[in-house]
Amino acid sequence: MSETRFDPSQADGRWQRAWNDAQCFRADDSSTKPRAYVLEMFPYPSGRIHIGHVRNYTMGDVLARYKAMTGHEVLHPMGWDAFGMPAENAAIEKGVHPGAWTYQNIANMKAQLQRLGFALDWSREVATCDPSYYGHEQALFLDLYAGGLVYRKESAVNWDPVDQTVLANEQVIDGRGWRSGALVEKRKLSQWFLKITDFAQELLDGLGSLEHWPEKVKLMQENWIGKSQGLQFAFTLSDGEKLEVYTTRPDTIFGASFVAVAADHPVAQKVAAENADAQAFIEKCREGGTTAAELETAEKLGFDTGLTAKHPFTGADLPLYIANFVLMDYGTGAIMAVPGHDQRDFDFATKYGLPITRVVAPSAADADKPFAGEAEAGDGVCVNSGFLDGMSVADAKASVIARAEGEGWGEGKTVWRLRDWGVSRQRYWGTPIPFIHCPSCGVVPVPKGQLPVTLPEDVDMSIPGNPLVRHPTWKHVDCPACGGAAERETDTLDTFVDSSWYFLRFASQPADRPFDPEEVARWMPVQQYIGGIEHAILHLLYARFWTRALKAIGKLDVAEPFAQLFTQGMVTHETYSREEDGRPVYFSPGEIERGAEGAVLKDDGKPVEIGRVIKMSKSKKNVVDPDEIVAKYGADAVRWFMLSDSPPERDLPWSEAGIEGCWRFVQRLWRLFGQYDATATGQDKALDRKVHQTVAAVADDIEALSFNKAVARIYELTSAAEKAAPSASRSNAIRAVLLLASPMMPHLAEEGWAAIGETGLVAEADWPEVDPALLVEDEVTVAVQVKGKLRDTLTVAKGTSKEELEALALASEKVQRALDGAEVRKVIVVPDRLVNLVA
């Protein structure tokens, strides 16, 4: 073979065409092989792929290629999460149509992905913004409606009074609209909801079956669903009315020092009707964003209504406040506040000078222990609590609930933090909700025969607000029920709906239905799903819900959509900046010359400050363009970098030195392949052993997605093969290195496969066989410790007896010196591992 270098600029495209010509990555629906559905979260078509996408899709690609090599029929599809706000923003800022912008982006990004050599079945590509996708989504939505899982109710949105537009949470900055700067108001609109709460218990229970999901994600979902058992009971107010409150801490009821309702609570409304100050306070609460984070970090504010509530046990009159930290959406929208044992109540009580009473203490003796400036939410025994004194928190909860139920003023109740899913968006670039509002018939579903309800093309995005509302003709239709003049629903669906079933469409895509349940059942569940941790709750919970909801209405027979989940880390990069006029000015890596000591700007040769390694973002300019690095180093070096060093669940810091190292390794492998000699004879037992151990270990590592470890082992085997003298064993080791590296560096592997005289594609080759007999070492190194400190090591035959190990350890000169005549009192021997002499 020639001594020339491997040239990705001509090899990459050649092999990509060869794979395409052979259609190697097309999933065969009729295959009898065991199936493997490998899926990465599909991207939003922003225009350019991000290095984070490259990392995500490289991981899935290695697994998909490995599965194919180990005898599986692989489904590895790709598509586009193509609806959403960025297309509308681009339309406003650049004057392009959201659809044209989106499809252009898809074309660009698809070409970028193809240049990376991913083993994707492009024949199943979907774009959610295409009527051939969202039309089916509309049909599914109608099915869910028929199944009683869709309803309408009033719900608050962020309203920009200047732009006359509904704003997303991310468009509200410090309580103001991002474009207009106007103070945002909360406004109530009638909106569409999906009954995810009907499935709260099932979604919670289902987590137990997800053995191969990260514990942290399951825990986050469990907390999000937020099942709590508590007491709902009624206070009698001083005006004679009843006020229902819910508490998860009935054990602390004797510590209640005030009662509070949300600003939207009917009691607050009633007070405000007669009290201008109360009205003003409620309006103040309506200013600012709607997010939980904002509500909970805002300063606690309250308004004393002058009313009081009678404590059910003590008969005390507790003041009734309207408070900004009470959420109308949770429980009854009203609380009994126990400042000693809830931090929010504590803050509020401190601010308004309300009593803070201890009713739970570490022990009965601590009944009068003062608080250390904060509430104590922990466990303990009840104190200062009448009949509860001395009880544990758990017993007291049960006891109070039993008493309330016996006396008829309250009952034990399960409450969920999970709320129904509001899917209405007052925006153009989304799936039209297939309903018609008729003045005489009310809300009427669009007949399925009239689907898809498509978006109008001729819209003016330069005016704020929803173009579907002001379009001259689009919304005017005849009522499907009575034939009279009616109007289309102008809200579109949350884009999370689009991503809640795309994995089903990948598995089966008939033209006349969303999917065929039997075809889907043959591929589902997704065997390995890979994506960012930022989707741990919403996307993954919504997809689980859709799967269940479709099952509940008989459209699907899958319990959980994703058998195995992996959440990968971000790609990060150091930042380069200079202080100019008191503000940092950032430079991109391309503008910088990076040396050992520091970095200078190429333009002026003067130093710049190297900042922290953070997530790549345009504003900090610490981005690298996948196209540029692929052009410079080839797809394989980039893929190898994505897999090396950092464990895949952690952040990966991009570095120029790192990619250079990968490039050198590509060439090093190429030289090694060049040393392959099919005619070499002779055996190298140690190398054979190393090969089989490495094949087994790399397989385990890939299955566990521990790519960084697989990479390290391939480096080791490469070094061993390089150092070995020519032999049949060595040639076999070179062939093994090629096969092991092939899922990661497929272009180089194909080139090498041909070079060593193999026929066919390595993409369709088999993973090397492992001989279990060669996995075991016959010699081991045993550590010898004295009092837990390493003093010597012994090289002995594997399986050497405890007695012999102890004798060998005591015979060691180093051990005797360390013992220094001291008497050995105890000996711990772990066969094949260590001897510890305790003196």
**Cα–Cα distance list, 576 to 383, 641, 651, 659 (Å):** 59, 22, 19, 19
SS3 state at 152: strand
**Residue 833 per-residue DSSP state:** T
Structure tokens at 289: 């964003």
Is residue 665 part of the contact set for RNA (CB under 7 A)? Answer: yes
Tell me the window of 442-450, 469-477, 482-490, 703-711 that interacts with RNA (CB under 7 A): 703-711
The four Cα atoms 727, 730, 735, 739 give a dihedral, to 10 degrees, of 160
CB of 826 to RNA, least distance (A): 6
Question: Closer to RNA at the Cβ: 480 or 607?
Answer: 607
815-820: long-range pairs with CB below 8 Å, 24+: 815/784, 815/786, 815/791, 817/791, 818/786, 818/789, 818/791, 819/786
Answer yes or no whether residue 38 interacts with RNA by CB under 7 A.
Answer: no
Q: How far is the CB of 379 from RNA (least distance, A)?
A: 11
Is residue 738 within 8 A of residue 756, CB to CB? The reply is yes
* Cβ contact 469:488 at 8 Å: no
Per the CB < 8 A criterion, the answer to whether 724 and 688 are in contact is: no
CB of 665 to RNA, least distance (A): 6
Helix residue ranges per DSSP H, 197-302: 200-207, 215-225, 266-274, 276-286, 292-297
Subset of residues 39 to 98 that bind RNA, contact rule: CB under 7 A: 43-44, 81, 83-86
Residue 166 near RNA by CB under 7 A: yes
Of 578-597, which residues contact RNA (CB under 7 A)?
A: 596
224 sits near RNA (criterion: CB under 7 A): yes
Cβ at position 405, least distance to RNA in Å = 28
Taking the complex as a whole, the smallest distance from the CB of residue 173 to RNA amounts, in Å, to 11
568 is a site residue for RNA (CB under 7 A): no
Which of 781, 801, 802, 822 lies at the binding interface for RNA (CB under 7 A)? 781
Q: Rule CB under 7 A: is residue 833 a binding residue for RNA?
A: yes
Figure out which of the listed residues 722, 758, 804, 806 binds RNA, where binding follows CB under 7 A: 722
Does residue number 716 form part of the binding site for RNA (CB under 7 A)? yes
Per rule CB under 7 A, count of chain residues that contact RNA? 101
Cβ-Cβ contacts under 8 Å for 703 (sequence gap 6 or more):
66
Footprint (CB under 7 A) of RNA, residues 88-147: none
Look at residues 668, 709, 530, 686 and name the one whose alpha carbon lies nearest to residue 52.
530
Does 831 bind RNA (CB under 7 A)? Our answer is: no
Q: Which of residues 406-435 bind RNA (CB under 7 A)?
A: 417-419, 421-422, 424-427
Q: What is the DSSP letter of 328?
A: T
Closest distance of CB 118 from RNA, Å: 19
d(CA 112, CA 638): 13
Indicate which single residue of 48, 310, 437, 668 sits in contact with RNA (rule: CB under 7 A): 668
Residue placing its CB nearer to RNA in the complex, 189 or 444: 189
Nearest to RNA of 103, 715 (CB atom): 715
Neighbour-count burial for 762-782, b at 16+ CB within 10 Å, e otherwise:
bbebebbebeeebeeeeeeeb
Quote the CA–CA distance of 109 and 744 in Å, as a whole number.
21
Residues 461-520 binding RNA (CB under 7 A) are 494-496
Closest CA to 243 of 304, 162, 334, 144: 334
Q: What 3-state DSSP class applies to 134?
A: helix
Nearer to RNA, 459 or 697 (CB): 697
State the nearest-atom distance from the C-beta of 489 to RNA, in Å.
Answer: 13
Told to check if 533 binds RNA by CB under 7 A, we report yes
* Site track 334-353 with RNA (rule: CB under 7 A), x = hit: ---------xx---------
Q: Binding string to RNA for residues 795 to 824, with x set by CB under 7 A, is what?
A: -------------------x--xx------
Q: Within 603-642, which residues bind RNA (CB under 7 A)?
A: 613-615
Question: Token digits for 375?
Answer: 């509430």
By C-beta, is 9 or 793 nearer to RNA? 793
- Select the residue interacting with RNA from 63, 157, 396, 550 (CB under 7 A): 157
Alpha carbons 529 and 39: distance in angstroms, whole number: 5
793, 785 contact by CB (below 8 A): no
Among the listed residues 621, 625, 635, the one whose alpha carbon sits nearest the alpha carbon of residue 666: 635
Q: Which is nearer to RNA, 131 or 226 (CB)?
A: 226
- Secondary element (H or E) of residue 530: strand 528-532
Is residue 707 close enough to count as binding RNA by CB under 7 A? no
